[in-house]
Amino acid sequence: MKTPIKVAVLIYNGVELIDMNGPIDVFLHANPYNNNRYQVYTVAATMDAILSENKAAAITPQYDLNNCPEPDLVVIPGIIDLEVDPSVIAWIKKFGSKKDKVIMSVCIGLQILAKTGLLSGKRVTTHYLAINDMHKQYPDITFIKNVRFVQDGHIVSTGGITSGIDGALHLVEKNDGPVIAQQTADVMVYNRDAPLPPYTILPPYFEI
C-alpha cells in the first residue's frame, strides 16, 4: 500500500476560490484510484471564518497553524490586494526548509511564497499579468513565461488560476503514475493538453 500524503491547503481572507478548490478537487478525485491516498484539509492562521475573494463565501478552516497535522504537501492559493498574517509566512518558511516536503503555489500565491526567501535562485512561474512586477521585486528568482507550471526541486509553482489543476495533476502523476493522473483529469472533464489561451501568451520581447 502506498504511503498516505497529507495535503494542507492554506486559506486566508481574500483567497481565490478556484486557486483553492482546483487542487483540492484533483486530490479528492484521485483518491478513488489510489485507495484514498490524499488526506486533504484546510489550514488558516486562526480558526476564525475566512472570507474569500470579494467576500463571496465564508469558509471555516479545519485547522489552524498550531493544531494542524504535519503535512507532506502545502498548497498556497493566491489573494489579490490583501496581506496574509505574518505567522503564515513564518509557517511556510519553516515547512519549506524540509526538502522531503512539497510546496505548490497557485497563481499569485507565489507572492506569498516569495516572501519566505525560499525561491531565491529558483525557476518559477505565476500569472502572466504578475510576472513583470514580481521579476522587478525579486530579481534573484528566474521567471518562466508561457507555461502552466514549473517544478524546481521540492517547489512547484503554477500560472493563472486554473493552472493549479495542472500543477496538482502533475503531482498526482509523480506520486501515482500517469494512468491515475489521466483518470483523474478524465473524471474532472479536464483537458491537460489544451493550449494556453492566445491572449495570455507573452511575446518574445516581454520584459523578463
- Sheet bearing 63-64, strands edge to edge: 63-64, 38-44, 5-10, 73-76, 102-105, 155-158, 149-152
In a domain, 203, yes or no: no
In a domain, 164, yes or no: yes
Model confidence at 172, in pLDDT bands (50, 70, 90)?
very high
User: According to the model, what pLDDT value does residue 204 have?
Assistant: 87
Could you list the residue range(s) of the whole structural domain that residue 46 is in? 5-190
In a domain, 206, yes or no: no
**CA distances from residue 203 to 90, 128, 199 in whole angstroms, order as listed:** 36, 11, 10
CB 147 within 8 Å of CB 167: no
In a domain, 197, yes or no: no
In a domain, 41, yes or no: yes
Once rounded to an integer, what is the mean pLDDT over residues 26-32?
A: 98
Burial class (CB in 10 A: 0-12, 13-18, 19+), 123: middle
User: According to the model, what pLDDT value does residue 146 have?
Assistant: 97
Read off the pLDDT of residues 105-162 as tens digits, 9 standing for 90 and up: 999 999 999 999 999 999 999 999 999 999 999 999 999 999 999 999 999 999 999 9
DSSP assigned state of 15:
B
User: According to the model, what pLDDT value does residue 81 have?
Assistant: 84
In a domain, 205, yes or no: no
Question: Domain of 63: which CATH number?
Answer: 3.40.50.880
In a domain, 112, yes or no: yes
Region for 183 from its dihedrals, namely left if φ exceeds 0, alpha if ψ lies in -120 to 50, beta otherwise: alpha
User: According to the model, what pLDDT value does residue 1 have?
Assistant: 65
In a domain, 133, yes or no: yes
Q: How many domains does the chain have?
A: 1
pTM score, whole prediction: 0.97
Question: What is the C-alpha to C-alpha distance for residues 160 and 164, in angstroms, rounded to an integer?
Answer: 8
